[in-house]
Amino acid sequence: MPGPSLDEISVFVTVLDQKSFAGAAKHLGISPPRVSELVRTLEERLGVRLVERTTRSVAATEAGERLRTQLQSLLDDYQAALDSMSDFREKPAGALRLTVATPAAHFVLAPVIARFLAAYPEITVEISANNRLIDIVSERYDAGMRPGSKLEKDMIAVRVSDDINIIHVASPAYLARKGTPQNPDDLADHNCIRFRLPNGMLPWRFRSKDNQIERQFTGNLVVDDLILGARAAIDGVGVLQILPHYVAREVAEGRLVTVLDEWAPPPVEGLHIYYPSRRQIRPALKVFVDFLKDAYRKHSIGQQTVIGIPISEVPRLSIPVAPLTPVLP
């Protein structure tokens, strides 16, 4: 029997990346039966079972995990060799997979992605926006975007935003009912809208003179979406600790009021796009990084900015202010 084909190897790795035969089929643009056939043929050629299949999950066997680990660098080199042909094209081409923090998606990528795609129509960009810390190498992303303090030391990181301030806001109506907190201790008597990260509840941080305080408060609303939290604050639910770019217009228009300004925590280090230092940068990724660097530089010179974009360009909340009236049948 001849040796394994590149198609078989590529499909096998994609099945493990996607953790699904159906997901691999969709990702590769082929039918699920064809995916199963190629993986089965690879197992027959090697004489070992590589993938454990159940009705709900797919996982590598010990042999499959070893093969995948050893093949990964070879596949990366293969893809890099193909991408290097872009040097002979007029413009780079190919696919980019990015994992980015949700604020980065909303306020760094959203204002510029259309211009990038127009400038490089032969590049396809896939963006996964979430607040989970992800190993971009094992999960097969080309690059990520997170605050600089969250990055591993073996990553190449390029700043694409200003440092990120944190503010506390509430609606005028809520403060009229409950009073304005003067210090963090006062929040014990307030309804605090809390934010949950994948690894637990986000603590509230404060700073006064040289002291830093970290506290947890109570409240009857917990969210994992900052836009939803901001809308709740506008509607008078409670006090919210949030990044200012989510509510810049609402504060400017008086629909939200900042409180505890003198207790504001230290800024979070600005967002960076990052990628593995041991991997040769692909042409498509290089032009994307350069594009973001240029956009950040232009917006940060002589303008008041929020995460690298002018306040005048901060979008309104995507949730409508007035509630929608349901259409009854």
pLDDT tens-digit map of 289-306 = 999 998 888 765 433 444
Are 6-71 and 89-162+269-313 in the same CATH fold? no
Look at residue 317 in the predicted model and tell me its pLDDT: 45
Look at residue 307 in the predicted model and tell me its pLDDT: 45
Q: Does 3.90.550.10 match the CATH number of domain 6-71?
A: no
Look up residue 55 and give its two tokens: 């009705």
d(CA 244, CA 227): 12
Per-domain residue ranges of the chain: 6-71, 89-162+269-313, 167-263
Look at residue 302 in the predicted model and tell me its pLDDT: 37
Look at residue 223 in the predicted model and tell me its pLDDT: 93
Q: What ranges in 195-282 are assigned the alpha helix state H?
A: 226-234, 248-252
- Single out the residue of 139, 111, 102, 148 nearest to residue 274, CA to CA: 148
Beta-carbon count within 10 A of 322 CB: 5
> Any idea which fold 89-162+269-313 has?
D-Maltodextrin-Binding Protein; domain 2 (3.40.190)
Residue 194: beta bridge partners? Answer: 222
Architecture of domain 167-263: 3-Layer(aba) Sandwich (3.40)
Contacts 24+ apart (CB under 8 A), 194-203: 194/219, 194/221, 194/222, 194/223, 195/222, 195/223, 195/224, 195/226, 195/229, 195/241, 196/222, 196/223, 196/224, 197/131, 197/224, 198/130, 198/131, 198/132, 198/133, 199/133
pTM of this structure: 0.64
Look at residue 303 in the predicted model and tell me its pLDDT: 39
Residue 320: beta bridge partners? Answer: none
pLDDT in tens, the chain (329 residues): 567 787 888 888 888 888 888 888 888 888 888 988 888 888 888 888 888 877 677 888 888 888 888 777 777 677 666 666 655 556 788 889 999 988 889 888 988 999 999 999 999 999 998 888 788 877 888 899 988 776 777 788 889 888 888 899 999 999 999 999 999 999 999 999 999 887 788 889 998 777 788 889 999 999 988 899 999 999 999 999 998 888 988 999 999 999 999 998 888 888 899 988 765 678 889 999 999 998 888 765 433 444 444 444 444 444 333 333 333 33
